[in-house]
Amino acid sequence: MRRVLALVLCGLVAATTGCAGQATVTTTPAGSTSAREAAIAVERSTPTPTPTPSRSASAAVGATIDLTGLKEGEKLAVTLVKLVDPARPKNPYLTPEAGARFVAVQFRLKNTGTDVYHDSPGNGAKLVDTQGQQFDATYGGTTAGPEFPGSITVAPGDTALGFITFDVPSASKIVKVQFTMNSGFSRNTGQWNVP
């Protein structure tokens, strides 16, 4: 019986992974035209001198990236509103580990899809440092501002705003912020560069 159950679970995982498509990382802010899209637009226009398509700017703090979830109607416009580094702990008893600091990141999540978005945003957020090390969210609140609760529910057209806190080594320089829908299981990740 266990062997049959294991085979069924393996089949479901393989089917889900195969159907989900290839993983992508989006670094282009919403509303910008990629070089490829610009080239296609130029190709379809009337024969006039062809301008060289400019490179799209990478998303930075303040930029919005359009993301898709696992289901067809799951879509978010995700804005990296603010990054506070270092962030002071709200509770003096919940402090970063020795040799570490808190970093707080504020996201605005606008539901642009047709399905209700129900998720734990902290599960899908990561910080990346100059060495490529990735850091997950932690449960330490900061004085930066209100945090997302454990889970949120956002109706189509509505918006959620909140901070996510990370426990990061003191020596790490954060250069990227990532966000993925569906607690990190969606195949589409947004990525912002930070100074």
Cα(125)–Cα(81) distance, integer angstroms: 14
Q: What is the model's pTM?
A: 0.77
30, 49 contact by CB (below 8 A): no
Cα within 13 Å of Cα(166), Cβ side: 29
Is residue 124 in a domain? yes
User: Which three-class secondary structure state does DSSP give residue 21?
Assistant: coil
φ and ψ of 29, to 5 deg:
-60, 150
Residue in 141, 152, 27 with CA at minimum distance from that of residue 94: 141
Is residue 102 in a domain? yes
Find the CATH number of the domain harbouring 178: 2.60.40.1240
Span 19-35, average pLDDT: 69
Bridge partners, 190 (sequence order): 26, 179
Is residue 14 in a domain? no
* pLDDT band, residue 159 (cuts 50/70/90): very high
Q: How many domains does the chain have?
A: 1
Q: Give per-residue pLDDT as tens, 38-70.
A: 333 333 333 333 333 333 468 999 999 999 999
Query: Residue 191, Cβ neighbours under 10 Å: how many?
Result: 19
Is residue 93 in a domain? yes
Is residue 96 in a domain? yes
In this predicted structure, what is the pLDDT of residue 58? 86
Q: Give per-residue pLDDT as tens, 7-23.
A: 333 444 334 444 446 88
Is residue 8 in a domain? no
Is residue 4 in a domain? no
**Domain limits for position 169:** 24-193
Is residue 5 in a domain? no
